[in-house]
Amino acid sequence: MPTSPALRRMADFDLGPEQRAVRETVREFAEKEILPHVERHEREERYPTELVAKLVPMGLIAPMIPEEYGGSFVDVVTYGIICEELARVDWVVASVVSVMNSLVVSSIRAHGTEAQRERWLPPMARGEVLCSACLTEPGGGTDLGNLRTTARKVDGGYRIEGTKVFISHAAHAGLFLVVATLDRSRKHRGVTAFLVDPRSTAGITIRDFPMRTLKRDNLAEVHFEDAFVPDDALLGEEGGGFPVLGAALDMGRFSVAARCVGQAQRCLDLAIPYATLREAFGQKIGEFQMIQQKIADMVCRTEAARQVVYRLGRMKDAGIERATLEASLAKLMASEAATQNALDAIQIHGGYGLSAEYEVGRLLLEAKALEFGEGTSELHRKLVAEFALGIRKQ
Ligand SMILES: Cc1cc2nc3c(=O)[nH]c(=O)nc-3n(C[C@H](O)[C@H](O)[C@H](O)COP(=O)(O)OP(=O)(O)OC[C@H]3O[C@@H](n4cnc5c(N)ncnc54)[C@H](O)[C@@H]3O)c2cc1C
């Protein structure tokens, strides 16, 4: 929600009263309960376990889990607003909600058996089980049809062998959504999805995946060494990993894009008061046209991204199963808006933009990271161009 009343009206114009109320509630909660701890956690490189626990009584941990499984099910646009408002204050807390509700819950709802839904969804809704998506490998994350992690059929289950990298939340998760190939020669038709309990599966080792920044996220390498998973860990069919991911893909891109809108908004919310207070040459820097141009560009990017994200949410609420083009547009526009807004916000702060005293410097690397997850900008440009040229239909 933008700083000034005029911007606020624009952002909220097409939301219903309940959606606006959710935004107010989540924003107030996030600013009061989460924001005051984020910079300290950043300095301590600490995963926000206590902050995630606070989401549970608020019903914010499981907005995509149906009520019959203990969730607080809401419409997709409202889910986007939750992701947006959480990401506006904390990248990591928003990531916990979005990985769980988009990638994992969507896959289980669309392709899980009733037994899998009953086993996994209620503890997730109670906040007892967090989730990780184990997709990316050292050899690459974009070309998922070319996986090297293998699953070998054995009596009563499968043996998984391979390494996943960049895995968010892995050391804290009670459920991994893992993709592995049953037969590399079959390319994407060999890719198979599994629901793996990392706490009770022998042969899984989780190691720190050192990052230059984003250390609060505790990214991990996950090694599967002949790890046995039972038959009922199979999600969907053998070789059906791509349809499983496909069901989750639009939702994954939606929630990441919504998070990017929140981050783009945060940059604006920090840059506007700074430009209003800071003085140079006897006037407020917000009176200089070059600063005003940056503020205007930041507003344009944020609003444009928000509209394409909400449109995707409304399409999903209308029951449109695949919205690949709209999902790519939303993810591409919102993630690049967040990065560019962070750059502009840093510039408006001058040297302080990179000081530990101000938040904007941290926002840049967090925004940049969201240009990779759920498909890189290059992948989405490729998809958008292929739709535009008629090379791709869906
Ligand atoms: C902070 C963070 C958190 C993450 N969390 C997770 C997680 O929880 N689970 C998980 O599985 N992964 C996670 N990832 C990994 C992320 O999904 C991958 O980084 C991403 O999929 C890209 O894969 P890659 O890094 O191996 O790049 P590559 O696939 O090696 O690509 C390298 C470059 O080539 C470009 N490229 C590739 N193919 C094409 C093409 N066809 N046309 C044009 N350009 C192309 C890419 O866009 C990129 O610029 C995370 C990453 C980060 C940074």
> Where are the domains positioned within the chain?
5-125, 131-239, 242-389
Smallest Cα–Cα separation from 378: which of 335, 348, 320?
335
The confidence score (pLDDT) of residue 393 equals 84
Q: Residue 181 has which token pair?
A: 């190939």
- The 8-class DSSP code of residue 58 comes to T
Residue where the block lists tokens 């990214």: 219
**pTM of the predicted model as reported, rounded to 2 decimal places:** 0.96
> Which ranges in the chain belong to alpha helices (H)?
5-12, 17-29, 35-44, 49-55, 76-89, 91-98, 106-111, 114-125, 241-277, 289-317, 324-348, 360-369, 377-388
Burial of 287 (0-12, 13-18, 19+ CB in 10 A): middle
The CA 375 to ligand 1 mean position distance, Å, reads 7
Confirm whether 374 is a catalytic residue.
yes
Return d(Cα 105, Cα 71) in angstroms, integer: 11
User: What is the pLDDT tens value at each position of the chain, 394 positions in all?
Assistant: 456 777 777 767 789 999 999 999 999 999 999 999 999 999 999 999 999 999 999 999 999 999 999 999 999 999 999 999 999 999 999 999 999 999 999 999 999 999 999 999 999 999 999 999 999 999 999 998 899 999 999 999 999 999 999 999 999 999 999 999 999 999 999 999 999 999 999 999 999 999 988 888 889 999 999 999 999 999 999 999 999 988 688 999 999 999 999 999 999 999 999 999 999 999 999 999 999 999 999 999 999 999 999 999 999 999 998 899 999 999 999 999 999 999 999 999 999 999 999 999 999 999 999 999 999 999 999 999 999 999 998 7
The confidence score (pLDDT) of residue 7 equals 76
DSSP assignment of 116-160 equals HHHHHHHHHHTTS--EEEE--BTTBSS-GGG---EEEEETTEEEE
Q: Residue 48 has which token pair?
A: 């926000």
Burial of 112 (0-12, 13-18, 19+ CB in 10 A): buried
Q: Would you identify the CATH topology of the domain 5-125?
A: Butyryl-Coa Dehydrogenase, subunit A; domain 1 (1.10.540)
The confidence score (pLDDT) of residue 1 equals 46
Do 201 and 224 touch, CB atoms closer than 8 A?
no
Total length of the chain: 394
Nearest atom in ligand 1 to the alpha carbon of residue 382 is 42
CATH code of 242-389, in short, is: 1.20.140.10
3-state DSSP assignment of residue 394:
coil
Q: Residue 391 has which token pair?
A: 């090379």
Smallest Cα–Cα separation from 272: which of 300, 249, 291, 252?
291
The confidence score (pLDDT) of residue 316 equals 95
The CA 377 to ligand 1 mean position distance, Å, reads 10
The C-alpha angle 129, 135, 137, rounded to 5 degrees, equals 130
- Site to substitute for ligand 1 among 362, 372, 383, most atoms within 8 A of C-beta: 372
Q: Is 96 left (phi over 0), alpha (psi -120 to 50) or beta?
A: alpha
Q: Is 57 left (phi over 0), alpha (psi -120 to 50) or beta?
A: alpha
Instruction: For strands 204-208 and 220-230, give the pairing.
Output: antiparallel
What is the CA 19 to chain-centroid distance, rounded? Answer: 20
The CA 142 to ligand 1 mean position distance, Å, reads 5
Nearest atom in ligand 1 to the alpha carbon of residue 141 is 23
Catalytic residue among 84, 359, 371, 374: 374
The confidence score (pLDDT) of residue 249 equals 87
- The 8-class DSSP code of residue 161 comes to E
- The 8-class DSSP code of residue 102 comes to I
The amino acid at residue 68 is: E
The confidence score (pLDDT) of residue 352 equals 97
- The 8-class DSSP code of residue 176 comes to E
Nearest atom in ligand 1 to the alpha carbon of residue 136 is 11
* CATH class of this structure's domain 131-239: mainly beta
The confidence score (pLDDT) of residue 3 equals 62
